[in-house]
Amino acid sequence: MQNGSQLEVQSSDADVVFRSSDNVDFHVHKRYLEFATGGFPPAETPSSLGEIIRLSESSPTLEILFQFVYPQRHPCLDKLGFEQLLKVAEAAEKYEVYGALMASQLMLREFLHSHSKQVLQFACVHQVAPLVERLAPIMIDTSLSEIKDTLIVCPSYFFKWSLFREQYLQLSIALAQSRPQHKCENFNIFTRVVLQKLDKPSHLMMHNLENLFNIRSIGGLDSIQVCCAIESRKWYHTVRERVAKIPEFTLENADEF
């Protein structure tokens, strides 16, 4: 390979040449490709002398990718920006570069919040269930209409994602229909504030419940009576029990749907 790479690709026994989309050549050993990948021809496949195989990926992407082919310390991907990491992940999937597959998928977890939709697109296309499982709680406030075209790529994912989100939506409706009654006006104000926040299903997730039902966090209340605090805790525990019955999102046995 050109441009001073540390890869051992300039030795005389390198037997295959790949050319990137920006015309950089990579001299790679077939035996390592066969061992470390599933998407390149096996070592015994004959090739014409001087034949150059053109790839659609750029040289920065291929330079990282081919480092996972050789029996050496693999590169660290934590310095890559999201766009470059995604290109490496896509190339790893395309050519089945096993080491790069795992490394890039692990690093994509760092971008679940900042690039949720793009990671979801990647995960659905390549059926990377662990990424989808992590994204479902993060993206629970995202309407299905925004991501249906992404999820429908894998119908079983779409079904289980929809069911997971629907359980929180149904609980929100049930809470609005069974609003607790109490004599104090401050408590009535509190219940209205809580119900207004239920337009976002994420507010009902277990890690958000304590803050949602904290009556002392509601601004504008003249004073908090002991009876109001007690009633708010009763309501909290009632809702918490119902939330606890909602199963965590999992794609185990997704193919059965």
Specify the pairing of strand 52-54 against strand 16-19. parallel
Show the domain range for 56. Answer: 1-79
Q: Say if 15 falls within a structural domain.
A: yes
Distance CA 53, CA 20 (A): 9
What confidence category does residue 49 fall into, taking pLDDT thresholds of 50, 70 and 90?
A: low
Q: Say if 255 falls within a structural domain.
A: no
Burial code of 218-239, b = ≥16 C-beta within 10 A, e = fewer? eeebeebbeebbebbeebbeeb
What does pTM read for this prediction? Answer: 0.86
For the chain, the first-to-last Cα distance in angstroms comes to 47
Q: Say if 227 falls within a structural domain.
A: no
- Tokens, residue 168: 């929180």
Q: Say if 139 falls within a structural domain.
A: no
Reply yes or no on whether the pLDDT at 97 is more than 60.
yes
Q: Say if 47 falls within a structural domain.
A: yes
Q: Say if 44 falls within a structural domain.
A: yes
Distance CA 84, CA 212 (A): 39
Reply yes or no on whether the pLDDT at 104 is more than 80.
yes
Q: Say if 27 falls within a structural domain.
A: yes
Reply yes or no on whether the pLDDT at 205 is more than 60.
yes
What confidence category does residue 2 fall into, taking pLDDT thresholds of 50, 70 and 90?
A: very low
Distance CA 96, CA 19 (A): 18
Q: Say if 234 falls within a structural domain.
A: no
Q: How many CB atoms lie within 10 A of CB 175?
A: 19
Reply yes or no on whether the pLDDT at 72 is more than 80.
yes
Pick the most confident of 85-89, 208-212, 222-226.
85-89
Question: Exposed, middle or buried by CB within 10 Å (0-12, 13-18, 19+), for 25?
Answer: middle
What confidence category does residue 220 fall into, taking pLDDT thresholds of 50, 70 and 90?
A: low
The count of structural domains within the chain is 1
How does the average pLDDT of the chain come out, rounded? 88
